[in-house]
Structure 1
């Protein structure tokens, strides 16, 4: 039972209240409960939002294990009040149910208050050491603190409020370790060895005098979120614990501490167990090998400068990812020099890259007490015990194992390049890649020099965005300036080369990512950051506005695909359409003739990685020189003409290449989300339709696992498995009638696909619960364009949709239209869709497909009423389901914000101003904070999103959206504070334990509680199984195992495929010498594919040590829980992009280049795909083989369809 406490003395702490309550609750009046044994209870003091100098608000919560105990206590304190510090505490019955976390805590044995207080105290440490795990099981100590016996000793404490372990040195520096960052702790007599997941946080205490008047940005944000302040001085964040040793702490994830007293070891162990850490007893041999001594680090850095960049980048990457130490790699010099001479730099770099996978083979996933004294021990774990040089030579020894020419050298240079990436954290530089990514205008121009460009992102140690770390005890503003600002201003050393800040794209800026460049020579001219920015165009009109200048440059760095180049005389400038009140109806949209559209489609469509749609795009989002926005078809234009408008033209450029950001050849599905649901609840839509839609989504998700054809449809609807075309593979296996029931775990490819489906189920249910991402059947998401024909009246729209199967529909009737993000009560409106155009309508209107056409009549453009939208590529949600429509009555007025004035400087903007803006943006990016604050405020208000604070937050949200262009950040002091300390239950994160939430009665709360996640355990089980296979499965990846491939393959799918093959080629072809050569070629392709796939699994994992599984990549999801789902979502999107590019390329390699389509060419593609399938089937569960089989199966049936279509003509 939960009781509410009031009138608590402000000087009283929770320990004193616990002592007094224990005397009462464990006294004679309660002796009859729990057999007279002491029982657990919980005390929480509530934070004070109005007085920063108080410990708490004078209120609190008491949780007791029984209603009987609670009622008895209420009766007793009426007769005999319970006083603390001479003030009686008033008790009353709580209104909430006890949370599950509290129920579990109440079941734990009662710990006496005095010992509990001892656990909270300070433990004296004799030494603090950081070390490196060696292959022989020992720990090489690479740094140790210096202790002055005349000063108080270094201490270890546990902050029960923040749940952090804190080591404070004699130099007033702190090592802060979160329990989630600890993999395991090994104890011996006076020491313990702590294996960390990532580097800890380093801080330095700031004196109270220095703290006054220097209120940090993130500290003020805490006032908004945590509602608490105090007079304690804030700490400074550090990038290293010891300036003399530089950044070595980025590499040392073994923390060893020794205690002064044996009893303190037991105290710390008890505390570790209380926070559910893995502990065991183990004795480590300690050595001091100097693996990171200053001389070694200097030699390693100097050594890198002498290698080609690709080789140096991989060597630097191995150290940055803590897979090898620099002394190990220095021992490889002769082997690397020989490899470069014999195989070339590209192949050598690939072989070095493979070292990581070979070092990780056999490494345990987790370590149980007593099983291993060293989680990194190599004993009994295969190739881990080999030195770096031996591993490297083993990779290169056999011809079939030697890396072939890297895939990325064959990628379509117009669309794809291999991108080198660097993640800058507070302590580290983490190098990853190169991995395939989409090109932009600048990259395409310098495609032969792409190794001089790197993508740099600024993150926390756990890969989250730094500004989200809302720590009230640390002023991170100064640290961001010193750590990130210095790199942006002064440059970055990567692989022995200096790179300088170049620019960013608009989407990358939101991820706190930018481009850096290393100056190089092209055509006898030096190319550097200044020259590239200067050649993009004329920025005279914006050069005095740093943020806007950066946004205009960003256009050239947006991911695009090249299409056609037009002549200058083919480009016309036409005026924008405006209302009498100067509202622009055509903001960001122009037109093109049928001839231009045909040319773009012919150039653009074949390069897309998804199946051809039944309908060509009639609108494209484009970049062309200094113009950006949409081009849509206008059939009245003659010949080949493009019409742009002033609202599209951002700067002057002579470049006339039409670059495609996005095509719209199919309608996109529409999903509800939390802001839209809260808005519709505000506007009077009933709850039942939302519950029904979610229940239907859950039912379809559960039903999808029952058969392959249902799973295929469900995966397509949810956009999962699309890179590997899993829906097509499932339908193929279903159609060839193998008789396999995938629910019976029959093994092979079918069971692999069943596991992929389970991962997808987990993904969808997780999104339903934590995002309220609910599919809406009678709804679409479409790009917006303008009515060029002035046919539509005010409040009317036109939309015609045609999906990939050719199913078409004219949208007709009342439609709810909105645009994300919905933050204002006027952001959803009712409009009338005219349906199929009547005969008197312009013919051009009816030719516009898969887009929503807005009227150009009235006083204000409709897109601008929907969360401040325009027509430069914004997408809009159209809902036909009447159950989700707004009730009859006057609509809420749309938002109308003037916006802040752009920040102007007196001098022309340079790289220094751009870099400073990036730093400021990292510190002041409040968009997510404001959006979250708005939802939390609405949940707690009777007016929901019409609450005055919500309206204020909506206005601030608009300013935050404009910040990348205005340079004016939101004043965080203007953000309204939350009115309560606890949060609604739907706001709980996946990883939350013991946080304080209330049961929300809003739609979001009901939807959240209606979802269970039964698939999570299954998905985690599969993930562990696949990691075990990853360590052992590739032993089968040997060409000798597939030489007799045709003789041994006899699984159900192969038998059915043989029957199909026999209808198109003579059976003798299967066993010919030519077939053996094809098998050898396909094996080489598969070998390269698995290398690339393993890099994707490693580089996009949320964990530094546990890669993604093959199933996760194929499904297009990440199973791991995360306290910051946005970081996981960023990784998922990037992983999908890289895997799509890889699959697209591998499919092309399997099909082969046959020149002009011919029957012989189609037959050759069929035989190559057949060989690829047999190679994958022969290798069974080896890592990568199953997904390679999916690609081969798709290529096989594409070839069969091509042959049959040709024969049927």
Structure 2
């Protein structure tokens, strides 16, 4: 029984056949959830004929192919284990006997069908008309490369269809075929790993240090970008003969002076940040990587049309490098804005009535106004990925109601934006002032119109846990900035403490800000901002590959930010002073340190938080969607709960809102679709899995074999002990 949780499926034979239905009826089918702690499991079963094969065939080894794509396709199928190998051994001629001109595409078809239906027959793929060419050069550009993609779990390595990815600077060092994109996941291959035991750690550590064997090569862990660290992912590199992983990392620049492991990893990650094309339009501000520098570049108001130069501040230099090619990570552009649970709570505690939030939510539900204008308004200079490619890469989709239930409520696009923050190079802005010029996105607009906002604005940066993180600034008109700066917020550099630093300790190194200038939300009395002291970085004598891998694994399973944020949410909901309480302030300060711990290497002491959790978190408000935890009784009366319940009761016609891509920070849907942009500020947000359709096969009248999720079997055995 101890080994059953390691299995993805159970093959159960019933005799007589009618006992199968008695078994199925006793299963706790109560919906679907990915979290094993919920004691609810997804049923995925198929009925098929049991027969004994008269032939005495021996297992066939994995075939080899001359084409790299075909070889990868077979390796991808082989990594499915018995799901494919048993069927291949019994029916190998379905593939071997046919010289399919697109064998990789055929492999992808078989792979997808087997993932949905474990009883899928290989020969059926030959008649499946859904095969599409995926590896042709027609989908590739200078900004897009196709790379191998694998998921490693505690008990297997499963290769996925090749993924189209934006380029990073690492492709300049080694070609795409030398890179392997890897995601670390739990036993089911879907969930991130929250807790890692010794056995799991040893396995992942060995794979990262010694390498993943594939196609007669070994791929060792090279590094992860900032977003990949959050997603428990990274790039593995196949090294040329005679090259070590240390010497490969040294190619990016001089890292010998860096003695903090966290800093070293983040500097390597600079080379792995995906890059974007700017197209024909010239944005006002760029998030860049150049040599060993990172940060924001903006158009110099003093420059002339025929002058081309780059000024790099000393603070932008992270390490020495001779690669002075300019790489663009992101740039200023119209980015819509949404409310989220944290900001809703803070604005409520700062004096905004429930009716304001309910009114904005109701307008979205009733669709009296569009969530956001058509996607074509947002493309600007950002080149969009082809929708079919995005679908091929299996990005997650969510519909409008899912957003509403999570209190992700879009704000009017001409009253609020997500904006990059830059410094005032003219020195004109006074303390407490800012400059905002945004592109108007009226649906009826047929030309680009830019508006300089003058008046009060509310500004913060996600994530934010303290009322003082929301600042009230005055937007003013600056002629020198109007001519060259748009779609970003310019902060003053004057004063004792910059305004941006008062917002959860933000900086101008590429941070994006939540900016609202509408008339509905108001703050009469601004809360005093917290001081977020910097933590001294720990140093070692020498950075080794073992130290890097150990730190990455520690970071992957670091649950401190989520624990603190969840505890803060419960306290804010239950405490009479809400987010102004001392307990919430304690959480906010420690949360900022926990976020920075990935850069500083600080070990966060959660003892004070665990005491608060024991005191307040015996029950949870429903809006937090902690379905495996006891609910508050009586229910919460907070605005978050009110909005959540209204969203639950709301009915949205399926024709009113199309499913929305939740991947890029800019809307990139077909132009005729209604688009909803979502930020990811909630630390405890979990993605919903894609629903999996099941298909029933024919059944013999005297015997059944049922393929069921292992959770049901365990439940049944325990129940009838």
The interval holding the TM-score normalised by the smaller chain is 0.7 to 0.9
SS in 2 for 1:937: helix
Task: Answer yes or no: is the 8 Å Cα contact 1:463–1:1127 preserved in 2.
Answer: no
**Cα shift at 1:633:** 1.0
SS in 1 for 2:197: helix
Structure 1: 5+ residue stretches without partners: 1-167, 176-200, 203-248, 366-374, 379-383, 470-475, 563-603, 607-611, 705-709, 727-758, 1024-1096, 1101-1109, 1119-1123, 1133-1209
Q: Select which of 289, 296, 312 maps to 1:644.
A: 312
- 1:1103-1135 per-residue CA deviation (whole Å, 9 max, x = no partner) reads xxxxxxx99x998999xxxxx995537999xxx
Alignment correspondent of 1:386? 123
Alignment correspondent of 2:391? none
SS in 1 for 2:451: strand
SS in 2 for 1:668: coil
Asked if 1:798 corresponds to 2:430, the answer is no
- 1:236-265 per-residue CA deviation (whole Å, 9 max, x = no partner) reads xxxxxxxxxxxxx56xx2332789x99999
Equivalenced residues, count: 644
Q: In the superposition, relative to structure 1, how do residues 265 and 880 fare at CA in structure 2: closer, same or farther (>3 Å)?
A: closer
Task: Answer yes or no: is the 8 Å Cα contact 1:310–1:451 preserved in 2.
Answer: no
- 1:691-746 per-residue CA deviation (whole Å, 9 max, x = no partner) reads 1111122222xx57xxxxx7994667999xx96999xxxxxxxxxxxxxxxxxxxx
User: Mapping of 1:660-675 within 5 angstroms?
Assistant: 660-664=328-332, 666-675=333-342
- 1:359-418 per-residue CA deviation (whole Å, 9 max, x = no partner) reads 66xx9x8xxxxxxxxx8667xxxxx4738xxx56x79xxxx99976x5543455531001
Task: Answer yes or no: is the 8 Å Cα contact 1:830–1:885 preserved in 2.
Answer: no
**Cα shift at 1:971:** 2.3
Task: Answer yes or no: is the 8 Å Cα contact 2:504–2:532 preserved in 1.
Answer: no
Q: Select which of 599, 602, 606 maps to 1:965.
A: 599
**TM-score, length-scaled by structure 1:** 0.48
Q: Select which of 503, 509, 528 maps to 2:223.
A: 503
Alignment correspondent of 1:101? none
Task: Answer yes or no: is the 8 Å Cα contact 2:371–2:412 preserved in 1.
Answer: no
Task: Answer yes or no: is the 8 Å Cα contact 1:634–1:844 preserved in 2.
Answer: no
Alignment correspondent of 2:697? none
Task: Answer yes or no: is the 8 Å Cα contact 1:467–1:925 preserved in 2.
Answer: no
**Cα shift at 1:527:** 5.5
SS in 1 for 2:642: helix
Task: Answer yes or no: is the 8 Å Cα contact 2:275–2:327 preserved in 1.
Answer: yes
**Cα shift at 1:328:** 4.5
Q: In the superposition, relative to structure 1, how do residues 408 and 917 fare at CA in structure 2: closer, same or farther (>3 Å)?
A: farther
Asked if 1:893 corresponds to 2:528, the answer is yes
Q: Select which of 250, 253, 262 maps to 1:537.
A: 253
Alignment correspondent of 1:683? 350
Alignment correspondent of 1:1066? none
**Cα shift at 1:520:** 3.3
Alignment correspondent of 2:34? none
Task: Answer yes or no: is the 8 Å Cα contact 2:429–2:491 preserved in 1.
Answer: yes
Alignment correspondent of 2:706? none
Asked if 1:867 corresponds to 2:593, the answer is no
**Cα shift at 1:912:** 1.7
Alignment correspondent of 1:550? 265
**Cα shift at 1:440:** 0.3
Greater helix proportion: 1
Task: Answer yes or no: is the 8 Å Cα contact 1:766–1:1013 preserved in 2.
Answer: no
Alignment correspondent of 1:350? 105
Alignment correspondent of 1:55? none
Return the alpha-carbon distance in structure 2 between the equivalents of residues 806 and 717 of structure 1.
Answer: 9
- 1:945-1002 per-residue CA deviation (whole Å, 9 max, x = no partner) reads 122221121122111211221122322333231514221121126xx48953442111
User: Mapping of 1:252-271 within 5 angstroms?
Assistant: 253-256=9-12, 271=26
SS in 2 for 1:1011: helix
CA RMSD of aligned residues (A): 4.3
Task: Answer yes or no: is the 8 Å Cα contact 2:406–2:644 preserved in 1.
Answer: yes
Return the alpha-carbon distance in structure 2 between the equivalents of residues 951 and 530 of structure 1.
Answer: 42
Asked if 1:933 corresponds to 2:567, the answer is yes
Task: Answer yes or no: is the 8 Å Cα contact 1:903–1:967 preserved in 2.
Answer: yes
Q: In the superposition, relative to structure 1, how do residues 548 and 878 fare at CA in structure 2: closer, same or farther (>3 Å)?
A: same
Return the alpha-carbon distance in structure 2 between the equivalents of residues 1016 and 845 of structure 1.
Answer: 41
Task: Answer yes or no: is the 8 Å Cα contact 2:192–2:232 preserved in 1.
Answer: no
Task: Answer yes or no: is the 8 Å Cα contact 1:988–1:997 preserved in 2.
Answer: no
Alignment correspondent of 2:287? 621
Return the alpha-carbon distance in structure 2 between the equivalents of residues 667 and 711 of structure 1.
Answer: 15
Alignment correspondent of 2:144? 416
Task: Answer yes or no: is the 8 Å Cα contact 2:152–2:189 preserved in 1.
Answer: no
Alignment correspondent of 2:185? 459
Q: Select which of 572, 590, 593 maps to 1:956.
A: 590
Q: Select which of 631, 648, 654 maps to 1:996.
A: 631
Return the alpha-carbon distance in structure 1 between the equivalents of residues 334 and 46 of structure 2.
Answer: 59
**Cα shift at 1:320:** 3.0
Q: Which has the higher contact order (CA 8 A, sep 6+)?
A: 2
Return the alpha-carbon distance in structure 1 between the equivalents of residues 96 and 21 of structure 2.
Answer: 52
Return the alpha-carbon distance in structure 2 between the equivalents of residues 711 and 962 of structure 1.
Answer: 34
Q: Select which of 687, 704, 710 maps to 1:1128.
A: 687
Task: Answer yes or no: is the 8 Å Cα contact 2:292–2:320 preserved in 1.
Answer: yes
SS in 2 for 1:977: helix
Task: Answer yes or no: is the 8 Å Cα contact 1:816–1:829 preserved in 2.
Answer: yes
**Cα shift at 1:496:** 5.1
SS in 2 for 1:520: coil
Structure with greater Cα Rg:
1
Asked if 1:942 corresponds to 2:697, the answer is no
Structure 2: 5+ residue stretches without partners: 32-41, 388-395, 442-446, 664-668, 678-682, 692-721
Q: In the superposition, relative to structure 1, how do residues 463 and 956 fare at CA in structure 2: closer, same or farther (>3 Å)?
A: farther
Return the alpha-carbon distance in structure 2 between the equivalents of residues 711 and 425 of structure 1.
Answer: 39
Return the alpha-carbon distance in structure 1 between the equivalents of residues 377 and 455 of structure 2.
Answer: 25
Alignment correspondent of 2:620? 983
Asked if 1:1007 corresponds to 2:656, the answer is no
User: Mapping of 1:98-117 within 5 angstroms?
Assistant: none
SS in 2 for 1:631: strand
